[in-house]
Amino acid sequence: MTDSTPDPHVLEPGHAPTPFTGAQIRDATVAGKTLWRRVDEEGAAPYVRVSRFLDCDRDGALFERSMLTLDGQPLGEPQVGRVEWVDLQRHASFPAADTTIEDEVISTALGDLDCWRYSVGRGAEVHLFWFAKSLPGMPVQQEVRDDGRVTATVTALAGPPG
């Protein structure tokens, strides 16, 4: 007899399992949780992306995103919207044929973290995502490589810039 229970980490046929389910992300998120990420993109000035959960419920959260200069000055107005937990999970749902998942320990501003590294190939471009096993939600590090050349990085920060 086989188990026909669907894997909650697989959101659609042909996709690799996501690192976390929507429920795991929800359970790790409270109102006020704030994430800071440094963004470096080829040809653009680096900045800090701030993601703050304003209010959380069973299905999703009110979410604010803003951008800051590296010294903490606002870049434009914050954007506020509602997001469902499964939609946050869906951000890490990639075609299985294009995706490899490996264990890797990386050093970050948050300390040494045991991660799953998702490598998603899209032609000459490869997107890498490091999801900390102990931090359900966004990747703690991201990288875009085009023909092996790093063209963008996003790295978690321990707190606000400045």
CATH value at residue 120:
2.50.20.10
Closest to 151 (Cα-Cα) out of 131, 129, 125, 130: 125
> What is the value of pTM for the model shown?
0.94
41 alpha-carbon distance from chain centroid = 16
- Residues 136 and 26: beta-carbon distance below 8 Å: no
Q: Answer yes or no: is pLDDT of 134 > 70.
A: yes
Number of folded domains that form the chain:
1
Range of the domain at 133: 22-157
Q: What is the mean pLDDT of residues 106-123?
A: 95
Average pLDDT over all residues of the chain: 96
pLDDT computed for residue 24 by the predictor: 98
C-alpha–C-alpha distance, residues 135 and 143, integer Å: 19
- Residues 101 and 116: beta-carbon distance below 8 Å: yes
Name the band, by pLDDT with cuts 50, 70 and 90, for residue 123: confident
pLDDT computed for residue 135 by the predictor: 98
Q: How many CB atoms lie within 10 A of CB 84?
A: 13
106 falls within a domain:
yes
109 falls within a domain:
yes
What is the Cα Rg of the chain in Å? 16
Q: What is the pLDDT of residues 38-72, one digit of tens each?
A: 999 999 999 999 999 999 999 999 999 999 999 99
Q: What is the mean pLDDT of residues 86-107?
A: 98
130 falls within a domain:
yes
Return the structure tokens found at 84: 């469902």
12 falls within a domain:
no
Name the band, by pLDDT with cuts 50, 70 and 90, for residue 6: confident
Closest to 138 (Cα-Cα) out of 100, 99, 85: 85
43 falls within a domain:
yes
- Residues 97 and 146: beta-carbon distance below 8 Å: no
- Residues 67 and 50: beta-carbon distance below 8 Å: yes
pLDDT computed for residue 5 by the predictor: 72
